[in-house]
């Protein structure tokens, strides 16, 4: 079915290239799928090859153009190598989604250097370095979209926010700094803020039905999030439609944050 021309003009990603870190699981995989189905040639980046290959196979089966790069984003060299490999698949990206993230959850008093460094490396430094690598090129070409996946814990502390909450608060600041730098040349930079989404990141929580139900009750919609809930917001932020939206944190949380 051909999309309505007005909708295509606003939302089609035909001819665009996207790189999605963490695109092999959970929210990142749902976003990679949405961008690819909207027409973007999409490269997913994470460590585990089997999950990456499975994601790309599923996209190819839907007629999408997709590729993968296996890389560890917890070191600067790893991020830099990943960026070069990702750009080699379909060319320099028009859209960068930073969804790779870790939540190690020790209480504040028990955070050691290793937890702090790993959290900041994956959740904050990798998005920063990928932005430094791809943002200037996007600006030179006059179009770009940078989308970070933040957290409620960027805004309030709960369930041991620790280093994770700090990294996500800084990630939203990074979006604003990038927006200030590159928006005048067509590169918008925003964050999506999930509520509670039952993905592998929350495995331990998913095993406790009472907690899951209590968290669902804290939303206005009455359920926890699904990875697929991010498809529409991601396509919007990646498309021409969001050209005047920049430096923002957009909550996709079923009303959790305002309940």
Ligand X SMILES: NC(=O)c1ccc[n+]([C@@H]2O[C@H](COP(=O)([O-])OP(=O)(O)OC[C@H]3O[C@@H](n4cnc5c(N)ncnc54)[C@H](OP(=O)(O)O)[C@@H]3O)[C@@H](O)[C@H]2O)c1
Q: Give catalytic residues, as residue numbers.
A: 164
Radius of gyration in angstroms for the set of CA atoms belonging to the chain, rounded to a whole number: 17
Which residues touch 72 (CB under 8 Å, ≥6 apart)?
47, 78
Q: Does 92 bind ligand X (CB under 6 A)?
A: no
CB of residue 38 to ligand X, shortest distance in Å: 19
Q: With respect to ligand X, which residue has the nearer C-beta, 12 or 68?
A: 68
Closest distance between ligand X and the C-beta of residue 183, in Å? 23
**Closer by beta carbon to ligand X, 72 or else 92:** 72
CB of 22 to ligand X, least distance (A): 3
Please tell me whether residue 22 binds ligand X under the rule CB under 6 A: yes
Site residues for ligand X, 170-229, by CB under 6 A, read: 194, 196-197, 199-202
**Binding pattern for the stretch 138-167 against ligand X, x by CB under 6 A and - elsewhere:** -----------x-x----------------
Residue range at the interface with ligand X (CB under 6 A); choices 97-105, 108-116, 138-146, 176-184: 97-105
Residue 122 sits in the site that holds ligand X (CB under 6 A)? yes
31 binds ligand X (CB under 6 A): no
Selected binder of ligand X within 12, 17, 25, 246 (CB under 6 A) = 25
CB of 74 closer than 8 Å to CB of 122: yes
Residues that bind ligand X (CB under 6 A): 22, 24-28, 46-48, 51, 72-74, 99-103, 122, 149, 151, 194, 196-197, 199-202
């Amino acid at each position: 079915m051909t999309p309505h021309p007005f909708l295509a003009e606003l939302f089609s990603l035909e001819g665009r290239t996207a790189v999605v870190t963490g695109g092999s699981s959970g929210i990142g995989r749902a976003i990679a799928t949405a961008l690819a189905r909207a027409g973007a040639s999409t490269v997913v980046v994470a460590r585990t090859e089997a999950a990456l290959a499975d994601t790309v196979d599923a996209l190819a089966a839907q007629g999408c153009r997709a590729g993968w790069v296996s890389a560890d984003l917890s070191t600067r060299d790893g991020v830099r190598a990943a960026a070069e490999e990702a750009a080699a698949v379909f060319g320099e990206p028009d859209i960068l989604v930073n969804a790779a993230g870790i939540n190690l959850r020790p209480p504040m008093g028990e955070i050691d250097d290793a937890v702090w460094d790993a959290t900041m490396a994956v959740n904050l430094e990798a998005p920063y370095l990928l932005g430094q690598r791809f943002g200037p090129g996007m600006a030179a070409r006059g179009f770009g979209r940078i989308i970070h996946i933040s957290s409620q814990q960027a805004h309030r502390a709960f369930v041991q926010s620790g280093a994770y909450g700090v990294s996500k608060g800084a990630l939203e600041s990074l979006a604003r700094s990038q927006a200030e730098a590159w928006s005048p040349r067509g590169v918008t930079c925003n964050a999506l803020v999930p509520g509670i989404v039952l993905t592998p990141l929350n495995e331990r929580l998913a095993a406790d039905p009472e907690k899951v139900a209590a968290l669902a009750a804290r939303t206005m919609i009455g359920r926890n999030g699904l990875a697929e809930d991010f498809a529409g917001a991601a396509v919007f932020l990646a498309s021409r439609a969001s050209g005047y939206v920049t430096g923002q944190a957009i909550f996709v949380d079923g009303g959790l944050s305002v309940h």
